[in-house]
Amino acid sequence: MQQIKIGLIGFGTVGAGLVDSIGKNGDLIAKRCGVLPIITRIADLDIVSDRGVTLPEGVVLDTDAMALIASPDVEVVVELVGGTGAAKQFIEAALKLGKPVVTANKALLATHGEQLFALAKEKGGEIYFEASAGGGIPCIKALREGLIGNRIKEIYAILNGTCNYILSVMESDSRDFEQVLKEAQAAGYAEADPSMDVDGVDTAHKAAILASLVFGQWFTADDVDIDGIRQVTLNDIHYAASLGYKIKLLAIIKERAGRIQLSVNPSLIPRRSMLGHVNGVYNAVWVNGDIVGTTLYYGRGAGREATSSAVLADIIDVALNLRRNCSNRLPAFPIFKQYQGLINKDELLSRFYLRLQVIDQPGMLAIISGILGKYKISIASVTQKEEIGEKASVPMIILTHQAKNRDMRMALNEISQEKCVLGEPVLFHIEDLD
């Protein structure tokens, strides 16, 4: 039986999951593809803590990642350290030796992907990255191979389980953001510092990778217009539900007239839509191709088992390529640059959800609608929520027809200066997913 010898850098949650998965299903994998995955070396700063898994017999466990990379007993380097510092050095060292690398590191690829893939090409190494976007969902392979005959027109994706869990529980349990965030942290669904997740940065990393993959030019997280979910209130969740929508943190990747839209923001989507049914820690990637039409890829987007499943799939791809003495069948990021760059976000068209807190007196709607009309923003519907008891102000919910971001921003600036409007207006995009 042929073997693939694996060097694992990073023995944390996902690394331990990979060890466990190979222990459970290594023999099954060997029967299916004729190659047995064997972990020969593991490097981690902590070699004492019990991970709750049984190490393979004869495995070398130490703190020396560079020795692991150089070892003749390692054919493929698996980087599960994360971050953009040491992980980058490890991947570069492996590539310079011509060794293939498997990584789940979305932050690194979204920041330094162009340089790393150029190095891989120069040195004859390869980078495999299925787990970098979507966790256990095989969306990278689907986009690279299954949909290779399509021009991808648009992708809408829920790519962060933490945010999706928080928004789902806010709706199902009628609890506010801070309460649910604390629960998510206690359950291990959110980090002690949740900023990367709830501020949309993690989703932006993944969106940049997917956009680079399908549009043939490099994008980084800096190219993504990012807004997180901290400003989503329980009232917004309830108002959206009453109007037939759910609020999701949505990665939006679109091509329009030769230019690319890249954005991450809380968006209202139809409750009846496929993405509207994606709840809890689950992720989904909705893809619209010019030939195939719409397809959906759904599953757990993070966690020990889901991520290790994707990493293991990449390892087997490496093994088959090595045994057949061939390189990756397709270039990971073919650069063909047929697009004209990013759309100016001021020019983006969208429908909008607008929530205002206004003084409860006659003429308020006329004032607001007059300002919106001044900027050629057409109102689709207005709901003024009656408050129980005697209150000086009431929430007003406005849904608009399509308008430009720039026009809406200027209108909001003017609306917020009206004496009848209290506090800051709240604005979300509406995506009807047609």
The residues that are catalytic are 206
Q: Are 218 and 179 in contact (CB under 8 A)?
A: no
Alpha helices, H only, 243-394: 304-323, 364-374
Run of H or E including 214: helix 201-215
Alpha carbons within 13 A on the beta-carbon side of 205: 24
Distance from C-alpha of 16 to C-alpha of 381, rounded to nearest angstrom: 52
Distance from C-alpha of 240 to C-alpha of 230, rounded to nearest angstrom: 16
106 exposed, middle or buried (CB, 10 Å; 0-12, 13-18, 19+)? buried
> Using alpha carbons only, what angle is made at residue 170 by residues 167 and 171, rounded to the nearest 5 degrees?
90
Q: Are 211 and 253 in contact (CB under 8 A)?
A: yes
Distance from C-alpha of 244 to C-alpha of 238, rounded to nearest angstrom: 10
Distance from C-alpha of 308 to C-alpha of 20, rounded to nearest angstrom: 9
If you search the block for the tokens 């806010």, which residue do you land on?
Answer: 170
5, β-bridge pairs: 38
If you search the block for the tokens 């009846």, which residue do you land on?
Answer: 272
Q: Write the DSSP string, 87-138.
A: HHHHHHHHHHTT--EEE--HHHHHHHHHHHHHHHHHHT--EE-GGGSSTTS-
Q: Are 22 and 39 in contact (CB under 8 A)?
A: yes
Run of H or E including 403: strand 403-404
Distance from C-alpha of 75 to C-alpha of 382, rounded to nearest angstrom: 62
Distance from C-alpha of 140 to C-alpha of 209, rounded to nearest angstrom: 9
Distance from C-alpha of 298 to C-alpha of 138, rounded to nearest angstrom: 9
The neighbour count for residue 334, using CB atoms within 10 Å, is 11
